[in-house]
Amino acid sequence: MPKVRAYGADATLLACRETSYGVTPLTGYRSLDFKSCHLSTEQPLGDDPLLGRGRNAQDPDRGLITDEGRVEVPLDLRGAGFWLTGLFGDPATVQTKSAGHIAFAGLPAANSTIALNGVTWTFVTGTPTGNQTQIGAIIEATLTALASDLSTSADAKISKCTYTVSTSDDGLEIEFDAADVPGNSFTLAASANSNGTVSAPTLTAGGYRHEWLSGGNDIPNFTVEIGHPQLITPVFFRHLSTVMESLAFEMGREGRRTAPCNWWPRVKRKPRPPSARHRPSHTARPSSRRIIAVTLGARVQRSGMRDLLTADKLGFRPHSLRATPVG
């Protein structure tokens, strides 16, 4: 039911990237998780006392309008890409292939098996037929024969991957031929007497890899709206042409990670009730926090030096990068 007072639990934060500076998008708004929001406009009154007019105070003049503030956001996979794009610009995105391996601690026993994508493959001591590989005198010879047999297999479920041998750890390397997420459903298994250990129940890391580079000139601007839709008269505060100035966070051993980010809007519109004509359409945030993307890597570069976003403490600005470990 409608409420008289505004509560933080009912507040909403919507954002949409502008295609033209200062032009409010009508559609494409995204609902974002946030811990707190302090975006606001301020216009102070200036005081310039004049002599020769007695003791009566002169009327103040209007000072410079400032619209800025800080938004504290959670560091999670769902929103990390949005905040990094706001700070650095569009990332370089490439599709990645699913991969995995089976490491062998020794020669597999006779009639032991491995399973690839639901297909059972058997190790035998005699002449192999069908889905079989002959056990060699040493593990390297056995794995070489296994990779060759799998690569020439006519089974459609097996032929979806490329098979190679890793001599450094006596393993069978498996890479799905097609990039993107479907390869992550390719299953791996090994019987106990095969002496094999799978990297995971399925191939992993298929999807997309994103890389943000600092120092770019094309920093996006957004229309940001903070709303209180549960009030008797719903109110929404919209900030146009907002750019992200900085993002900083600290990493600890426990607790949820949050990051305060500073925003600089061009102008703030006055609060208004929603209407069919002016209310932007957006897709509501799903209730589940299940992450659809399989791989989300964030790597930044400044002056030819790369740093993964795993330092104990990182601070970012569009034209500077600092990384300072704590302790």
Nearest to 49 by CA among 62, 60, 64: 60
**Cα–Cα distance measured from residue 202 to residue 174, given in angstroms and rounded to the nearest whole number:** 11
With 50 as the cut, is the pLDDT of residue 326 above it?
Answer: no
**Cα–Cα distance measured from residue 258 to residue 248, given in angstroms and rounded to the nearest whole number:** 9
- Give the pLDDT of residue 267: 56
- Give the pLDDT of residue 61: 84
pLDDT 10s digits, 95-139 = 999 999 999 999 999 999 999 999 999 999 999 999 999 999 999
**Topology given in CATH for the domain delimited by 95-209:** Alpha-Beta Plaits (3.30.70)
Q: For 139-161, what is the mean pLDDT?
A: 96
Q: For 159-185, what is the mean pLDDT?
A: 94
Give the pLDDT band of residue 140 (cuts 50, 70, 90). very high
**Cα–Cα distance measured from residue 135 to residue 259, given in angstroms and rounded to the nearest whole number:** 55
Nearest to 87 by CA among 324, 309, 325: 309
Q: Mean pLDDT check: name the lowest of 22-36, 180-194, 284-298.
A: 284-298
Q: Where on the phi/psi map is residue 194: left (φ > 0), alpha (ψ -120 to 50), or beta?
A: alpha
**Cα–Cα distance measured from residue 70 to residue 249, given in angstroms and rounded to the nearest whole number:** 13
pLDDT 10s digits, 259-294 = 888 877 765 554 554 443 344 444 433 332 222 222
**Cα–Cα distance measured from residue 25 to residue 279, given in angstroms and rounded to the nearest whole number:** 11
- Asked if the 8-43+62-91+214-323 domain carries CATH number 2.30.110, the reply is yes
Domain layout of the chain by residue ranges: 8-43+62-91+214-323, 95-209
Q: For 33-43, what is the mean pLDDT?
A: 88
Given this chain, do its domains 8-43+62-91+214-323 and 95-209 carry the same CATH topology?
A: no
**CB-based contact 16:223 (threshold 8 Å):** yes
- Give the pLDDT of residue 164: 97
